[in-house]
Every structure is written in structure tokens, then in C-alpha cells.
């Protein structure tokens, strides 16, 4: 977006539903719980919401999910849509919300996503529903899987840059360590490097602990103008920069297996915010598989291509390190339930800027970067939040 | 209970591709306006949007760009094949396509390996597959 949009809107409320196995709640119920918590966090009333954005649901695949969610919540907004760019949806929804608010289409927008993926359907049907990401005619007949597609990206990175199996394992261990500091994380037990290396193999080189969780979870945040944000209960997190980039959907059509759209989406976000990678204090990078945050780290300019593995292995990505990554535990250890997975990265970015997170707090965090991606590193959106509007 | 492996589905964009596959031919699309060759047949050229496209037969040779050995099958139908190789093949003609690596030494595959085309029967259709090149 244009530089003139920098700092003009803010996230003023964030909420997470109960996370893990929540069999007594529906997907819509999890969304509602997260929305209510976000509204309370902002100190707003239901009647203040005049816009709603949501994504999609594999477990409750309603046509017109945006309208269905509004109906469920008893909302009659003047702005509403379902946005489907896979895991990239939450960040893209924040961009759409920003555009709507700056254009005067709405003043206060609820962004919401989540599913009951752990208990709403069997694990096997979750996998077969997700297989729809593979091209129905030219990929699915070969029995590829989502982990398999990401595994090919990992394999290529190892081949070109010498990234190792241990590097990937360090990412899973680091992320789990962070999740243990989060009171609402799905995973509550520590893991070692050896645990990751000896976990059940899924698609070489990826094992079970390199793959994201399957959780019941909903997440929500509330966006309004910077003007309006000043009078609200919680400390605002101002949107300083945001950019997207889309290069393909199916991996067979990806322009490259080592260069993706995060570089371009990041460039746009940095430019709008007027900051550079070294200014960022904390980053929440989409981590559906261990290889993914490594690639994003490199593309977003935090290290050289091929250096990502060492960045995680030597502790630079840990809380207390040079650039703490996925301080909530990411999708590998905090939660993954459809578009809620990336949304929790935004929630955590906001919380880090507010401060007061105890042992999980990144001291003096003023700028947080969040990256969401959807498909097979197909659709990218990068955003930069700050605790000041400029 | 074993489920059937997926059978290729034909549509208006790909009818010629799958029809040729039944005769052991791998067909690609070339743009007569800009000369680009692409995989995944479409109505127009994804480079220049020309509608002037032609089919031609690929030589059936390529190199492995990347691969993964699948240890946990994506569906019940594939469970009997585990472990199997899914790969992206760079065809000599330029485009990249997905395939399995088949044959007795499939699991020894490496990035950069030369592979050659063969066909696997699926129902009354045939699926292009690749095996490690001999000699
Ligand atoms: Zn052309």
C-alpha cells in the first residue's frame, strides 16, 4: 500500500478461543468465542462492529462463510466478505480491512477465522480435504501430499544451500520451547532434537514434528482507525506496512523452489513502513512445516540465502536472541486450524508490542513483523506493526 | 479395504493430453506467437495470452528438479504403495511437471538424475510416469 496509509489504522483487540481438542464446540462457536474475547480486549460493544471479514473452513464448508458467520454472531454489517488465499488469508484480510477503513466503507472491522480441525472430522478426512490443494488432474493422480510438496522444497533447499536435517529439527525444537511459555498453546511438553529426528517419518526429509498441528482453534482481531484507537482500552498496535505477492497456486507451476513471493511482499511492507529488516524486534513467520520459516527468514532479508538453518540452530531465533521468531509457538506448537494458524501470528505480534508477557516477552519490542503464506508458498502477505503510529 | 488409485480426469483443456497418453505419448502445448512451451494445458498461452497454440509430442526425457519419498500416504488408495517417490521433473523441452519415480531403484533417486518416460495403466486411462534413465 501507499506510504500515506502507514500508521493510519490499528489493531485494538485480539482474542484466541480455547485451543487443542475442544469437542464440545463447533468451528463457528470457536470463532464466536475468539471474537467475543477480542471485543472485550478492545473494550468495544457489539454494535461498534460495522465490518466483518473471515476466511474459509474445511470442517464446516459453508458457501458464503462471511454471511454465515455474521448470521451466527447476530451482526448486520455494512462491509463483509470471505477471503480465500489459504494461510495467507489473515494478513490479506488485515490489508482489506485497512483499505475499507481508509475508504470509509467501515469504521471497526472484526477479522475472524478458525475451525474445529482436531475433533470436527477424522484426521484422515482432514488430510484428504487438504489434498485438494494439489492439482486435481496433474498432481493428485501421483499421490502427493501437502507435507510431500513442502518436503520437495526442503529437499531442494538442502541441495542448493547445504541446509541440513538438523537445521530443520532445530526450528521445531525452538518453536516448542516458545510454546511452553504460552498459557494457551496446544502443545505442553518439551521436545529434543533427537525427538524430532526420530519422529515418525512423513515425507523425506520431514517427520511428524516438522509438520504443523491439527487443532480446534479460532482467532480474531479488531481493526479501526488510528484516530479511534486512541480512546480504547488496549494499547493499539499500528499497521505501519503491509504488502502481498502471488506467484502460483500449485507447486508444479511455482516459478522456483528456492525463490518465492515473500521477498516481494516483504519489500512492499518495508517500503510502506519506511523500515529495514534490522529494525524489526520480533517476527512471527508462517510455519506450517519447519522448512517454511527458514525460507521466509531468508526472503524477508533477515539473513543471507542459505544462512537460515544456522540462524535457528545457533539461537538467534530464540527469545533473547537477535530476532525471536514465533514467540507463541507457531503452527508447529501453538495451534493450527485453517486460517486461524496465521492469524495467531498477528495476535502474538500485537501482544509483544503491548508488553507484559512475562518470560515470553521480547524486551523493548517496538516493531513486529508477521508473515502469512497460503498454498504451497504461493500467496504471500507481510505486515509490520508498531507500538507508535510512525 | 483397498481404494482405487485416482484415474486421470479429462476436461476440455486436457482432453488431447489424456487421449494421447492412452497411446503412450506425452503431449505439450507450444505458443505459436511467443514460442513458449508450457505444461498444464490451458485455453491460452500463460506468457503472452495468445490463443494460437499447438500440441507437440515431448521426447520423454528430463531431470529430477526435486523429490520426496512419501512415507505416510495422502489417501487410503496410496497406502499400499508406501514408500513411493513424488517428484518434479524438468522436461528437456523446458516445462516442469509432477510425476512419480517408478521402477525397482526408484528410492535411490537424487536431484539432477536423468529420467525417462513410461506409462502406468489406470482404469482405461494411462498416466505418464518417469523412471531412472538406464546407461
Ligand atoms: Zn505466448
We report the CATH number of the domain holding residue A355 as 3.40.47.10
Tell me the average confidence (pLDDT) per consecutive run of 10 residues in chain A, 390 residues long: 97 98 96 98 98 95 96 98 97 98 98 94 66 83 94 98 98 98 97 98 98 96 97 96 98 98 98 98 98 98 98 98 98 96 98 98 98 97 96
Q: Is A255 found in the same domain as A221?
A: no
The whole-angstrom separation of Cα A122 and Cα A314 is 38
Q: Is A350 found in the same domain as A201?
A: yes
pLDDT value, residue A162 = 98
pLDDT digits (tens, 9 = 90+) for B78-106: 989 999 999 999 999 999 999 999 999 99
Most B-contacting residue of A124, A125, A132, A142 (CB-CB within 10 A), to test interface: A142
Q: Is A282 found in the same domain as A193?
A: yes
pLDDT value, residue B75 = 80
Do A346 and A91 form a contact (C-beta atoms < 8 A)? Answer: yes
* CB-based contact A253 B65, cutoff 8 Å: no
Nearby residues of A48 by Cβ (< 8 Å), 6 or more positions away: A107, A108
Q: Is B21 on the interface with A (CB under 8 A)?
A: no
Q: How many CB pairs under 8 A join A and B?
A: 108
Beta bridge partners of residue A283, listed in sequence order: A325, A369
SS3 A182: coil
Q: Is B14 on the interface with A (CB under 8 A)?
A: yes
Do A369 and A284 form a contact (C-beta atoms < 8 A)? Answer: yes
* CB-based contact B40 A138, cutoff 8 Å: yes
Q: Is A23 found in the same domain as A78?
A: yes
Q: Is B99 on the interface with A (CB under 8 A)?
A: yes
Q: Is B71 found in the same domain as B47?
A: no
The whole-angstrom separation of Cα B47 and Cα A251 is 18
* CB-based contact B70 A143, cutoff 8 Å: yes
Domain membership of residue A113 as a residue range: 3-121+214-229
Domain membership of residue B87 as a residue range: 59-135
Q: Is B78 found in the same domain as B38?
A: no
Q: Is B35 found in the same domain as B20?
A: yes
> Whole-structure pTM over 0.90, yes or no?
yes
B135/chain A closest Cα distance in angstroms: 24
pLDDT value, residue A126 = 65
ω before A2 within 30° of 0 (cis)? no
We report the CATH number of the domain holding residue B95 as 2.40.50.840
Residues of A in contact with B96 (CB under 8 A): 252
Q: How far is the CA of A245 from the centre of ligand 1 (A)?
A: 23
- Where b means 16+ CB within 10 Å and e means fewer, B26-43 reads bbbbbbeeeebbbbbbee
* CB-based contact A252 B68, cutoff 8 Å: no
For residue A155, CA distances in Å to A148, A385, B57 come to 10, 33, 30
Q: Is B90 found in the same domain as B126?
A: yes
The answer as to whether B81 is a domain residue is yes
Residues of A in contact with B72 (CB under 8 A): 145, 147, 200-203
Q: How many CB atoms lie within 10 A of CB B1?
A: 3
B36/chain A closest Cα distance in angstroms: 14
* CB-based contact A159 B39, cutoff 8 Å: no
The answer as to whether A133 is a domain residue is no
* CB-based contact B39 A138, cutoff 8 Å: yes
Residues of B in contact with A124 (CB under 8 A): 76
* CB-based contact B72 A135, cutoff 8 Å: no
Number of domains in chain A: 2
Q: Is A149 found in the same domain as A279?
A: yes
The answer as to whether B105 is a domain residue is yes
Candidate from B75, B99, B122 with C-beta closest to A131:
B75
Q: Is B133 found in the same domain as B80?
A: yes
The answer as to whether B4 is a domain residue is no
pLDDT digits (tens, 9 = 90+) for B107-130: 999 999 999 999 999 999 999 999
ω before B83 within 30° of 0 (cis)? yes
The whole-angstrom separation of Cα A231 and Cα A50 is 18
Candidate from A144, A151, A202 with C-beta closest to B98:
A144
Q: Is B68 on the interface with A (CB under 8 A)?
A: yes
Q: Is B42 found in the same domain as B66?
A: no
Nearest-by-CA chain A residue for B121: A141
Q: Is A256 found in the same domain as A222?
A: no
Q: Which of A229, A259, A284 is the last residue of a domain?
A: A229
Q: Is B130 on the interface with A (CB under 8 A)?
A: no
Q: Is B53 on the interface with A (CB under 8 A)?
A: no
Question: Which of A59, A109, A93 shows the shortest CA–CA distance to A346?
Answer: A93
Q: Is A158 found in the same domain as A222?
A: no
pLDDT at B2 over 60: no
Number of domains in chain B: 2
Q: Is A324 found in the same domain as A222?
A: no
Q: How far is the CA of B55 from the centre of ligand 1 (A)?
A: 13
The answer as to whether B2 is a domain residue is no
pLDDT digits (tens, 9 = 90+) for B31-78: 999 999 999 999 999 999 999 999 999 999 999 999 999 999 878 889
Give, in degrees to the nearest 5, the angle at Cα B39 between B67 and A88: 65
Q: Is B22 found in the same domain as B86?
A: no
The whole-angstrom separation of Cα A236 and Cα A41 is 11
Task: Fill in the DSSP letter of residue A319.
Answer: T
Q: Is A177 found in the same domain as A74?
A: no
Helix boundaries (H) for A234-287: 262-273
The answer as to whether A19 is a domain residue is yes
pLDDT value, residue B1 = 40
Q: Is A72 found in the same domain as A180?
A: no
Question: Which of B96, B131, B68, B86 shows the shortest CA–CA distance to A158?
Answer: B68
Q: Which of A229, A261, A295 is the last residue of a domain?
A: A229
Q: Is B85 found in the same domain as B53?
A: no
Sheet holding B27-31: strands in order across?
B37-38, B27-31, B53-57
pLDDT value, residue B40 = 95
Q: Is A177 found in the same domain as A73?
A: no
Residues of B in contact with A203 (CB under 8 A): 68-72, 86
Q: Is B69 found in the same domain as B42?
A: no
The answer as to whether A135 is a domain residue is no
Amino acid at each position: 500500500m501507499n506510504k500515506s496509509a502507514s500508521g493510519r489504522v490499528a489493531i485494538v483487540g485480539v482474542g484466541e478461543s480455547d485451543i487443542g481438542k475442544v469437542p464440545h464446540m463447533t468451528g463457528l462457536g470457536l470463532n464466536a468465542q475468539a471474537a467475543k474475547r477480542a471485543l472485550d480486549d478492545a473494550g468495544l460493544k457489539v454494535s461498534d462492529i460495522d465490518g466483518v471479514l473471515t476466511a474459509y473452513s474445511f470442517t464446516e464448508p459453508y458457501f458464503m462463510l462471511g454471511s454465515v458467520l455474521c448470521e451466527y454472531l447476530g451482526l448486520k454489517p455494512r462491509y463483509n466478505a470471505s477471503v480465500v488465499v489459504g494461510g495467507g488469508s489473515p494478513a490479506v484480510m488485515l490489508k482489506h480491512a485497512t483499505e475499507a477503513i481508509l475508504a470509509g466503507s467501515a469504521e471497526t472491522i472484526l477479522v475472524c477465522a478458525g475451525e474445529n480441525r482436531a475433533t470436527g472430522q477424522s484426521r484422515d478426512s482432514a488430510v484428504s480435504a487438504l489434498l485438494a490443494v494439489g492439482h486435481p488432474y496433474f498432481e493428485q493422480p501421483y499421490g502427493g501430499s501437502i507435507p510431500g510438496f513442502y518436503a520437495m522444497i526442503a529437499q531442494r533447499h538442502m541441495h542448493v544451500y547445504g541446509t541440513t536435517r538438523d537445521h530443520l529439527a532445530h526450528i521445531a525444537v525452538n518453536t516448542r520451547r516458545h510454546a511452553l511459555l504460552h498459557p494457551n498453546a496446544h502443545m505442553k511438553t518439551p521436545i529434543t532434537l533427537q525427538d524430532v529426528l526420530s519422529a515418525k517419518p512423513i515425507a523425506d526429509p520431514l517427520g511428524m514434528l516438522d509438520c504443523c498441528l491439527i487443532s480446534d482453534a479460532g482467532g480474531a482481531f479488531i481493526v479501526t482507525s488510528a484516530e479511534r484507537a486512541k480512546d480504547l482500552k488496549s494499547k493499539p498496535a499500528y499497521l505501519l506496512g503491509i504488502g502481498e505477492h502471488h506467484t502460483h497456486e500449485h507447486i508444479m507451476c511455482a516459478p522456483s523452489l528456492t525463490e518465492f513471493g515473500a521477498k516481494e511482499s516483504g519489500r512492499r511492507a518495508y517500503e510502506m513502513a519506511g523500515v529495514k529488516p534490522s529494525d524489526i524486534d520480533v517476527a512471527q513467520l508462517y510455519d506450517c512445516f519447519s522448512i517454511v520459516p527458514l525460507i521466509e527468514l531468508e526472503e524477508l532479508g533477515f539473513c543471507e540465502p542459505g544462512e537460515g538453518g544456522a540462524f535457528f540452530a545457533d539461537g538467534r531465533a530464540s527469545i533473547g536472541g537477535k530476532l525471536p521468531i514465533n514467540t507463541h509457538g507457531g503452527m508447529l506448537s501453538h495451534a493450527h486450524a485453517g486460517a486461524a494458524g496465521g492469524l495467531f501470528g498477528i495476535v502474538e505480534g500485537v501482544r509483544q508490542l503491548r508488553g507484559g508477557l512475562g518470560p515470553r516477552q521480547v524486551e523493548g519490542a517496538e516493531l513486529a513483523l508477521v508473515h502469512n503464506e497460503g498454498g504451497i508458498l504461493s500467496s504471500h502477505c507481510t505486515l509490520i506493526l508498531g507500538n507508535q503510529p510512525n | 479395504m483397498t481404494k482405487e488409485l485416482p484415474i486421470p480426469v479429462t476436461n476440455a483443456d486436457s482432453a488431447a493430453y489424456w487421449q494421447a497418453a492412452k497411446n503412450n505419448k506425452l503431449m505439450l502445448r507450444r505458443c505459436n506467437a511467443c514460442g513458449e512451451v508450457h505444461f498444464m494445458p490451458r485455453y491460452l498461452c500463460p506468457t503472452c495470452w495468445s490463443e494460437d497454440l499447438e500440441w507437440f509430442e515431448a521426447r520423454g526425457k528430463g531431470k529430477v528438479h526435486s523429490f520426496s519419498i512419501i512415507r505416510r500416504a495422502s489417501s487410503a488408495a496410496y497406502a499400499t504403495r508406501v514408500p513411493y517417490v513424488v517428484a518434479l521433473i524438468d522436461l528437456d523441452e523446458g516445462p516442469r511437471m509432477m510425476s512419480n519415480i517408478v521402477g525397482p531403484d526408484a528410492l535411490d533417486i537424487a536431484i539432477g538424475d536423468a529420467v525417462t518416460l513410461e506409462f502406468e495403466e489406470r482404469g482405461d486411462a494411462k498416466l505418464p510416469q518417469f523412471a531412472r534413465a538406464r546407461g
